[in-house]
Amino acid sequence: RIFSNTLIQTSPIFFVAIDPEGKTIMMNDEMLGVLGYTNQEAQDKDYISTFVPEREHELYRDGFRKLVSANEATHTESHVVTKHGRELLIEWYGRPIFNEEGELDFFFSVGTDITQRRIFENELRNYQQQLQDLNIHTEKVRERERTRIARELHDELGQLLTVLNMDLAYVEKKLPGDAPHLRDKLSDMKSRADETLNTLKRIMTDLRPSLLDNLGLVAAIEWQAEDFQAHTGIRCKVSVEPEDMHLEADISTTVFRIFQETLTNIARH
């Protein structure tokens, strides 16, 4: 008994016992010191009205009733108020203690001050949310820039290459029949222009596939798989459920980029 009392009083965690009327029977030195009370000040005080924030009074009363009815250990989190009005968040493990006649003798709880831990956890969540928001914003900016570049490539270089092909076709018609070397050279120029135009189309598609904007995610994924199969020889079978899937633009873009990266990793490894 002396050993148990010494252990309770010297423990760095909270111990408290409350009688059936809600009055404090015992509070260990650690809890008294943190709350700023002496043993005489805490003894026989109504626990809820003295040590609990008013907004949680009913919560505590419900907890006491559940403790009695369940007759088993509980694990909860709730606040206590120091003598100077500071609130602390405590993680409690408690249970009702009954006497030999089966009547409630007192409530006994063991608590740990988790105020700082919860502050750190909340700060960490806030930092993680900020990082996530930053990543989302960065991805949106990246996609807008990809779309802008793809549009400019289409409007500027695409038109120039198309006009160049038309000019080359016009020159080809005007070549005399006795100029085979010029005709061969012109044919080679046309092939290079076509190859350049195809390369430009592939770059624009990599930047921002028009299918994604015009026909949606499913069509874009099917096209990407077919293109991947054509370039790598790796057989692809696409199965999408439901086939008429409609997602928000940002989510569609993210899913499509994940799919692209997956195919890239497959080709690489």
Q: What was the pLDDT predicted at 81?
A: 95
Handedness of CA 151, 155, 161, 162 (dihedral sign): positive
| Residue 94: Cβ within 10 Å count | 20
Rounded distance between C-alpha atoms, residue 94 and residue 91, angstroms: 10
Q: In a 10 Å sphere around its CB, with 0-12 CB exposed, 13-18 middle and 19+ buried, how is residue 70 labelled?
A: exposed
Q: What was the pLDDT predicted at 101?
A: 85
Q: What was the pLDDT predicted at 3?
A: 47
The residue type found at 184 is: D
Q: What was the pLDDT predicted at 112?
A: 94
Rounded distance between C-alpha atoms, residue 82 and residue 77, angstroms: 16
Q: What was the pLDDT predicted at 166?
A: 87
What is the mean pLDDT, run by run of 10 residues, along the chain of 269 residues?
A: 67 91 92 94 93 90 76 85 94 88 88 94 94 89 85 83 85 79 85 87 79 83 89 89 79 87 88
Q: What was the pLDDT predicted at 114?
A: 95
Alpha helices in the chain (DSSP H): 2-10, 29-35, 39-42, 47-51, 57-70, 115-152, 159-174, 180-207, 210-214, 217-232, 249-268
Sheet architecture: strand order including 74-81: 24-27, 14-18, 104-113, 87-98, 74-81
CA 167 remoteness from chain centre:
54
Q: What was the pLDDT predicted at 43?
A: 92
Q: Cβ distance 212 to 252 under 8 Å?
A: yes
Q: Are strands 14-18 and 104-113 parallel, antiparallel or unpaired?
A: antiparallel
